[in-house]
Amino acid sequence: MFFDNFEVREQTLLTPEWVAKKTTFLDWDSQPSLFKHYPHFCYRTPLSDHPSLQWLMESRCITSEQMVAHKPYYRLNVPSAGNLQPIEIYVQIRNIAGLLSGLYHLEVLTQELVLITEIGAAGIEPYLELDHRFTGCIVMLSIVPFRSSWKYGLRAWRYLYLDLGHQIGVLSSSVRHFGLNLTKMFTQGTDALNRVMGMGEDERIVAVYGVGEKSTRLAKRLEEPVMSVQPTDYTMSETLLVDTIKVEPLYNEIPNSMKRDDFLALNRTRRSARGFNSNAMKDTDILALMRIKAHVSLEVIPILLQAHGMQLGLYRNGECTVNGNFNSEVVHLLLDQRFISGSNMVLLIYAVDFKAHSHIEAGMYAQEIYTVCEHLGVGCSGIGAFYDNIGSQWSNNPLLYAVAIGGKL
């Protein structure tokens, strides 16, 4: 059994009653492992030994490590709801000097490529409607539902796709920075691809891109599934969540992220804001952020909470259409997260359709906002916790996500 889009929204709503009832505290000791680990006997090679793959290394990497309660606490270049990091990356590599052609897992913890299996004429191309071998890389992004549902239950469905959108956004920025392009990949259904890649019930490949080019040599279908490895040290499967994810078609849209010279620095320094200094943000930066285009599936409503000279209130197409101070309403909407009251602007991201792909597009847009904020020296944080029904006061569309933006402390 799986949910349709209407049921998913209904079953993942946050209401004041639900939040008030949820009095249990999480035991962080029981958090499932953040990084998938293939067996020690697999051949490994450090990504830093392969300069032509620097775009891959920069797509997903650890950018901060601290000890919290005697355990390492990692943060990555990609933001993630609750920092639960439910994404894994695989690459089929063909004809890249210095590397055996094969299927690899990107091991983020060690920044290594781990060889799952060598390939020859047979590869995953036929699963992606390609008759010919693809020279270079085919990048596959998977989601691991339990890493997120462990904390968020069924609402994790939303965060998995928002997180994925952030990851696709970073992948696209990284590839562009190095003068390369993403190629769209297609498939009728994702079952066969997932089976051959050894994905079990607890992980699903949901988006695929090429970085390379089609060759003239014919490709054969890799028939034998590769080894299967659990993505977490233990799992408690939320069947409804897993089954709902299974029926989702592959995502393959390419984000419209800008090529940035300072991408490498921004990618390594970016952090989600935990407080704001509203005086430190310029009105010109607010206007620049309002002008960033979102995917057509989305409706973005900026609410200006604090500024030097601009009118406060709700904006549409760069114009203030409803004047007023909405600080307390917006903070309440966003589950009364107090630090948001110090922000200059909150972008409310709605979608015409409440569906997985709109959530991915909301994540991609928010990732571009994160990058531009970091470029401008401004703070921001994605906000996935909100009371859905209160969000409806500003649009007839469902609210998917919000981004709070403000001067850095």
Closest to ligand FMN by CB, 225 vs 275, is 275
> Binding residues for ligand FMN, how many (CB under 6 A)?
18
Tokens 């897992």 found at: 105
Buried b (16+ CB within 10 A) or exposed e, 265-279: ebbeebebbeebebe
163 binds ligand FMN (CB under 6 A): yes
162 binds ligand FMN (CB under 6 A): yes
- Nearest distance from C-beta of residue 203 to ligand FMN, angstroms: 19
Residue among 226, 184, 239 nearest 207 (CA): 184
- Nearest distance from C-beta of residue 299 to ligand FMN, angstroms: 18
408 binds ligand FMN (CB under 6 A): no
For 61, the token pair is 């990497």
Residue in 255, 382, 398, 407 binding ligand FMN, rule: CB under 6 A: 382
Residue in 57, 61, 81, 137 binding ligand FMN, rule: CB under 6 A: 81
In this structure, is the dihedral angle defined by the CA atoms of residues 399, 374, 294 and 284, taken in order, positive or negative? positive
Interacting residues with ligand FMN between 267 and 286 (CB under 6 A): 271-272
385 binds ligand FMN (CB under 6 A): yes
Interacting residues with ligand FMN between 86 and 125 (CB under 6 A): none
In this structure, is the dihedral angle defined by the CA atoms of residues 111, 115, 121 and 122, taken in order, positive or negative? negative
d(CA 332, CA 325): 13
d(CA 115, CA 41): 10
Closest to ligand FMN by CB, 112 vs 163, is 163
Closest to ligand FMN by CB, 59 vs 194, is 59
75 binds ligand FMN (CB under 6 A): yes
Strand partners, 211: 137
> Which H or E element spans position 213?
strand 204-218
Answer for the pair 161, 363: CB distance below 8 angstroms, yes or no: yes
Residue in 105, 166, 177, 357 binding ligand FMN, rule: CB under 6 A: 166
- Nearest distance from C-beta of residue 340 to ligand FMN, angstroms: 8
Name the 3-class secondary structure at 376. Answer: helix
Closest to ligand FMN by CB, 18 vs 186, is 18
- Nearest distance from C-beta of residue 337 to ligand FMN, angstroms: 6
**Biggest distance spanned by C-alpha atoms of the chain:** 64
Neighbours of 249 (CB within 10 A): 13
- Nearest distance from C-beta of residue 383 to ligand FMN, angstroms: 4
Taking residues 313 to 352 in sequence order and writing x for each that binds ligand FMN by CB under 6 A, - otherwise, the string is ------------------------x---------------
For 238-270, give the DSSP string: -HHHHHHHHTSPPB-PPP-PPP-TTHHHHHHH-
The contact set with ligand FMN (CB under 6 A) reads 75, 79-83, 159, 162-163, 166, 271-272, 337, 381-385
